[in-house]
């Protein structure tokens, strides 16, 4: 060990998160389940392409009532 080595620093936030994970070991698994509900989805490329083709171009000023 070096004479000039400083002790490992952990911020208050890091300490809080480590303590929270130690108190609630299931927390990370619950976060992964929540992410899977909203984000981890299989994308159907053909349906995505159909949606893109069916999109109607937006007018430059959307609140204009006259055509």
What is the C-alpha separation between 65 and 17, in angstroms, rounded?
53
Which sequence spans correspond to the domains of the chain? 11-40
Tokens representing residue 7 in the block:
């002790």
Spatial CB neighbours of 20, under 8 Å, sequence gap ≥ 6? 27
pTM greater than 0.75 (yes/no):
no
The pLDDT of residue 67: 61
Spatial CB neighbours of 10, under 8 Å, sequence gap ≥ 6? 18
For 3-53, write each residue's pLDDT tens digit.
777 778 889 999 999 999 999 999 999 999 999 988 888 889 999 999 999
What is the C-alpha separation between 48 and 8, in angstroms, rounded?
49
């Amino acid at each position: 060990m070096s004479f000039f080595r400083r002790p490992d620093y952990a911020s208050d936030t890091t300490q809080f998160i480590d303590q929270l994970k130690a108190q609630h070991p299931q927390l990370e698994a619950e976060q992964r389940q929540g992410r899977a509900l909203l984000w981890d989805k299989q994308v159907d490329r053909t349906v995505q392409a159909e949606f893109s083709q069916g999109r109607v171009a937006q007018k430059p000023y959307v609140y204009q009532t006259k055509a």
